[in-house]
Amino acid sequence: MFGKILRIVAIILMGVASTLMLLGGVGTICVAWFPERWESLAVLAPYKIVYQISALATILAGLAGIGVMVKLIRRSEKGHFFAILVLLVSLATAATKMAFSFVLRGGTAPTHIRFYFTLFTLAFFLFLRMPGVRERVRIETEDEGRSDGDIAGGLAAIMGGALALSVSQWAGPTHTWNGINYAAYWRSEIMFAGWTAILFGALFLGRFFFRRNRCSSSLSKSGSQVCVAPREP
């Protein structure tokens, strides 16, 4: 049971971290390509190339993170390795952006949120690779079907969607100039992505409850004590 809980937490953390990567990468576009439009960001103009590379790398890491989350749900042998790799890329881009922003404009918000959350998630994945913990996680989930993947995937998608839908609130204070909240600039696109993620999360959770009810029905008819959810190819 302990191993199953650790695996669910890992998938959720990866999903939320990937969402922060995508939001962070997209949110850097204004700084990376159009800093001259805002007086407070004009000082960053000579370093646009740094922010452009950081934005593209962060967006790609976020997309890769979603793929890694799928690998973790499917119990891919390389899932944890790729998770650590993606998290390291995100950590590097966040640290670079924070360093330049702190020196040039005296602040790191809101990139510091992604940095510390990514750091925590990376530490958690490294903890899962420790001798004893790694074996326990694998052994305890090997023969339990994919129900834990459905739970974790569903919760990760819902939390990621909620994070996207609320981005104008938690990122707004650092993205407001002349009374305009630029964190809500792509409001329609972000709302579409957020609600889509929540819908997929609900479908994952719905599949879990459907499988559980089907297993309960099978157990009551057969009298068996064990119900193993079928594995997907």
* Residue pLDDT, tens place only, 185-203: 778 888 899 999 999 999 9
Least confident of 17-21, 48-52, 169-173: 169-173
Neighbours of 210 (CB within 10 A): 11
- The answer on pLDDT for 139 being more than 70 is no
- The answer on pLDDT for 221 being more than 60 is no
Report the C-alpha gap between 180 and 173 in whole angstroms: 10
Report the C-alpha gap between 141 and 84 in whole angstroms: 20
pLDDT band at 146 (very low <50, low <70, confident <90, very high): low
Least confident of 15-29, 78-92, 111-125, 130-144: 130-144
More confident: 56 or 101: 56
Q: Cis peptide leading into 173, omega within 30 of 0? A: no
Task: Single out the residue of 187, 186, 184, 189 nearest to residue 171, CA to CA.
Answer: 184
Report the C-alpha gap between 129 and 142 in whole angstroms: 16
pLDDT band at 143 (very low <50, low <70, confident <90, very high): very low
Query: Tell me, what amino acid is at 211?
Result: R
Q: Which residues pair with 176 in a beta bridge?
A: 181
Task: Single out the residue of 86, 89, 58 nearest to residue 72, CA to CA.
Answer: 86
Of the chain, the percentage scoring pLDDT greater than 70 comes to: 85
Residue 208 is predicted with a pLDDT of: 79
Q: CA angle, 95 as apex, 94 and 97 as ends, to 5°?
A: 65
Tokens in use for 93? 């881009």
Neighbours of 192 (CB within 10 A): 12
Residue 230 is predicted with a pLDDT of: 47
Query: CA-CA distances (angstroms) from residue 53 to 29, 80, 92, 98, 102?
Result: 10, 25, 12, 14, 18
Mean pLDDT of the chain: 82
Least confident of 96-110, 146-160, 167-181, 191-205: 167-181
Residue 233 is predicted with a pLDDT of: 41
Residue 196 is predicted with a pLDDT of: 94
Q: Which residues contact 149 (CB under 8 A, 6 or more apart)?
A: 11, 72, 73, 74, 75
Residue 160 is predicted with a pLDDT of: 92
pLDDT band at 220 (very low <50, low <70, confident <90, very high): low
Residue 170 is predicted with a pLDDT of: 78
More confident: 159 or 29: 159
To the nearest 5 percent, what fractions of the chain are helix, strand and coil? Answer: 80, 0, 20
pLDDT band at 173 (very low <50, low <70, confident <90, very high): confident
